Amino acid sequence: MLKEIDAFVLYLHNIKKVSYNTETSYRRDLCKLAAFLGEKHIRRAGQITPRDLEAYLSYLQENQFAPSTISRSVAVVKSWFSYMVKEGIVQEDAAEELKAPRIEKRIPEILTMDEVARLLEQPVGKSPKELRDKAMLELLYATGIRVTELITLTLSRLNLTMNYIICKDGSRERMIPFGSKAREALVDYLEHSRKMMLSDSASDLLFVNCSGGIMSRQGFWKLVKHYAGKAGIKAEITPHTLRHSFAAHLVENGADLKSVQEMLGHSDISTTQIYLNLNHNRLREVYARAHPRG
């Protein structure tokens, strides 16, 4: 079965031009399915029946996997079988009737503008690490990029003359501007910190960890949590909270959804629509509190 999974991931890479993260996620979900089926002595994709897939779905639900995780797994399995049918690897689509659980759309956690300001004020020292942390936090909020995009961003994709970065997701590229505060922090970091932190002077990575290599997602998450605590922010925030806050604050201050969609890299504007709904909800709350007949 691993042979069929490898072939599918290669197809995603070469034909669909998906991002590395998508490839990794698809492979992980399919290997999890293969491990489950292997315990039932099902070794080949052609042996899988609709009942086997329903049993796997039940296993995920019984083990209390999040509905969003189960829904993603179902989408991956359906995509895999669609590919195998098209390629003639299997004769029938065993996943055709597989149904994902219903997911309630959760309102994302966002910070107030005051909370963001307090968070960004926390790295105040002039040590190489604090200069790096300041630049990373400022750039993340200024652009709304994903944490993986931040930690893999290269110097060659940063333009300090025109104040923008270029992010690449699979075959797609998007240009995202940033403001003066982020530029100041970046210049400070590049002039007084980056060279001191690099382990390889030829590296094109913009940001590096304290060992001079690429920072992990977990490492940056801990960094955000540390400064959130220092800022007195009680909410449990993650790097993605700053991405949500970036989008919500843009919409709140009059940015059009299409522009926000392009900066976030959403393929469907309906995904971006949630930030408009957030703004409407906030306006209703303000009205209810402030209007004499609210």
| Residue pair 129/109 in contact by the 8 Å Cβ criterion | no
- Give whole-number Cα distances, 4 to 26, 96, 217, 223, 265, in Å: 13, 18, 30, 39, 30
Query: Which residues are CB-contacts of 67 (< 8 A; sequence separation ≥ 6)?
Result: 101, 102, 103, 104
Choose, from 16, 72, 168, 217, the residue flagged as catalytic: 168
- Residue 266 designated active-site: yes
Cα–Cα separations (whole angstroms), residue 226 to 2, 223, 238, 253, 254: 41, 5, 11, 29, 32
From the list 29, 41, 40, the residue with the least C-alpha distance to 80 is 29
Catalytic residue among 78, 243, 244, 249: 243
Residue 240 annotated to the active site:
yes
Q: Is 168 exposed, middle or buried (0-12, 13-18, 19+ CB in 10 A)?
A: middle
Please pick, among 13, 183, 192, 240, the residue that the annotation labels catalytic: 240
Q: Is there a catalytic annotation at residue 102? A: no
Single-letter amino acid, residue 25: S
146 in catalytic set: yes
- Residue 275 annotated in active site: yes
Among residues 16, 32, 118, 266, the one annotated as catalytic is 266
Query: Which of 146, 194, 244, 249 is labelled catalytic?
Result: 146
To the query of whether residue 234 is one of the catalytic residues in this protein, the response is no
Q: Which residues are catalytic?
A: 146, 168, 240, 243, 266, 275
